[in-house]
Amino acid sequence: MKKNEICPVCGKETEGKVPCPHCLTDTTRKIRLLYLWVICVILAVLGVGAFLMHVKASGEEPISISQIDTWMDYSHNLIEGTVTSGPLYGRNYISFSVSDFSSTDPEISTIEVRVYSPAFEELLMERRIPRVGDRVKIFGQTRVLSERDKMMTVSLASDIKIQPLSPVVSTPSDVLRNVALLYKRVTIEGVVTSMRALGSANIYYISDGSSEIQLYVPLGLEVYVEKRPLGLEVLDRVRITGGVSSYKGTPQLMVGLFSDIEVLGKEEPKLVRLSEISENLIGSYIQTSGKITLSEAVGTTTSLKITRRILWLDDVNMPKAYIEEEIFQTLPPETKRLVRRGSSIEFVGKVEKREGKLVVTFVGPQIPNVLEGEFLPPIAENLQTLEVDILATVAGRIVEISTREKGLLPPDRILMVESPSGLVQKVLIPNFVYERLPDPPRAGENINTVGKISVVGGEKVLHVCSIEDIWRV
C-alpha cells in the first residue's frame, strides 16, 4: 500500500498501515462498486414491483371469499362484504369477521380480518372502526389453513374502505324475532337486568320488559382502547346503537366503542327487608340488606373451582343471597375482601326460588355497600345435639387429621378437635377450601373453626365453608 493512499471510508491518508489508523477499517477487504450498484438496482426493482402489485391487486375486482383456498395462502387479495362479528381488540390489533354470503355455508364465505399497528391506531384516531352491519372493501394478505379457517391481515389503514350502515330504531323483542335485522345496525332502549363475566368479554342482558337481548362487550375494548371500566350497573336504563350479530343461533348486540352505549337513567328497585320477602316478589328486583353470618363457598364434584358464594344473612331462617362466582370476581378487590362473615351488606338482587326456598340472587353489575363487622356463632359443646344447618363454632386442639377421598381430586380433610372439656368433635374442610389455605392447620395446634352443621357418614360434623373460618389461637 502506498504512503499517500487514501482510506475509502474516512478519506484520510493511511500511511501504508492496515487497518486504517484513523477509523480501523481493514482496507484490504473491498466490495466492488459494481456489486453495490447491482444490489441497489435489484432492491429498487423489487420495491417498484411490490408497489405495482399492490396498486394492481387493490384496483382489481374483489375476489369471492368462498373462492379463497389453501392455494392462495400468503397471497394478497381484495375482498368486499359485510361485517358480521366484532370488533375485538388486542394489545396491538383489531379484528372482525367479514362475509360476502357467496356460499350457503357461512363459514366458507366468512374471513377474519386483523388490522395491526400502526394501522390499528390510525383507525382509532379517525374513529373508523368497522362495526357489524358496515359494508367494507379490504385489501390484505390472506392466511388460509382450510376453506373454513382463513384470515386476512392488513397493514395500511388506507386499505380499508368502510361504508357505515345507518341504524334503525328497534326493541330487544323485535331484534330477537325479526331475522331481517341480522347483520344490521339498530338502536334500542332497555334496562340492564344482569351480567355474565366471561374470560374475554362481559355479557350484559338488556330487557324491554318482555324479552332480554345480550350485549357483548369485549374486555379488550376496556383494557386496550377505552382504558377504563364501562361502568354499567344493574337497573340502568340504556340506549344502545350496535350491530346485530349471532352466537349459536341467538341474536346478540355488538358495539365498537363505549360511545355506542348511553345511560339514560336508572330504575329504582323495591326496598324490602329480608323478613318481608315472600313468593309474590318472585321475579322482582329488590334492594335489601343484612349482616353476613356465614359466607359459604360452593364447589363442584369435578374440580377445585368455586362456582358460587351463598351469604347467610341475619338469621338461618332468612332468605340467603346467592352470588355466582363469575359475578363475585368482577367486584373491586377491597369489596371482595369485605364480603365475609361479620360484615353488613346492602345490595340489589332478584327474588327467586331454589330447591324450594326463597333466595335473593345478587345480580351484576353492581358494587354493594359493605361495612366490616364481627360475628361469631356460639361454641358447640356437642355437635350431635344441634340441628343440621345451624351455625356453630368449634374450638380446641387438633388431635388427628384424616382424609376423605374425592376420586382424582385432592381429598377433603377431617380434623378431630378436642375441646377443653375433653370431647372430640369432627370438623370437615372440603378440598376446594383446604387447597386454598395459605398455611393449613397441623395436628397438635389449637384452632377456632366456624361453619354449619352437616351430616357425614351418619355423624354430625362442623362443615367449614371458607378459608376465613379457620384460624389458629
Query: Tens digits of per-residue pLDDT, 9-47?
Result: 676 777 777 777 777 666 565 545 455 556 656 766 555
Give the pairing of strands 201-207 and 185-197.
antiparallel
User: Which residues, given as ranges, of the chain have pLDDT below 50?
Assistant: 1-2, 31, 33, 49-58
Confidence at residue 1, expressed as pLDDT on a 0 to 100 scale:
42
Q: Domain 65-163, CATH 2.40.50.1040 — does that match? A: yes
Rounded Cα distance between 44 and 69, Å, is: 32
Confidence at residue 58, expressed as pLDDT on a 0 to 100 scale:
46
Rounded Cα distance between 300 and 67, Å, is: 47
Confidence at residue 229, expressed as pLDDT on a 0 to 100 scale:
86
DSSP of 427-454: EEE-HHHHTT-SS---TT-EEEEEEEEE
Residue 152 in contact with residue 114, Cβ under 8 Å?
A: yes
C-alpha distances out from residue 101 to 83, 184, 189, Å: 11, 14, 30
Confidence at residue 2, expressed as pLDDT on a 0 to 100 scale:
47
Mean pLDDT of the chain: 88
Q: Do domains 65-163 and 383-472 have the same CATH topology?
A: yes
Q: Which of 106, 408, 385 is nearest to 248 (CA)?
A: 106
Residue 15 in contact with residue 3, Cβ under 8 Å?
A: yes
- The CATH number assigned to the domain with range 168-266 reads 2.40.50.140
| Domain spans of the chain, in order of start | 65-163, 168-266, 270-371, 383-472
Confidence at residue 245, expressed as pLDDT on a 0 to 100 scale:
93
Task: Assign domain 383-472 to its CATH superfamily.
Answer: Nucleic acid-binding proteins (2.40.50.140)
pTM: 0.77
Confidence at residue 301, expressed as pLDDT on a 0 to 100 scale:
85
Query: Tens digits of per-residue pLDDT, 276-309?
Result: 999 999 999 999 999 999 999 998 888 999 999 9
169-192 burial, b at 16+ Cβ within 10 Å, e below that, comes to ebbbbbbbeeeebebbbbbbbbbb
270-371 CATH choice from 3.30.110.30, 3.30.1510.10, 2.30.130.10, 2.40.50.140: 2.40.50.140
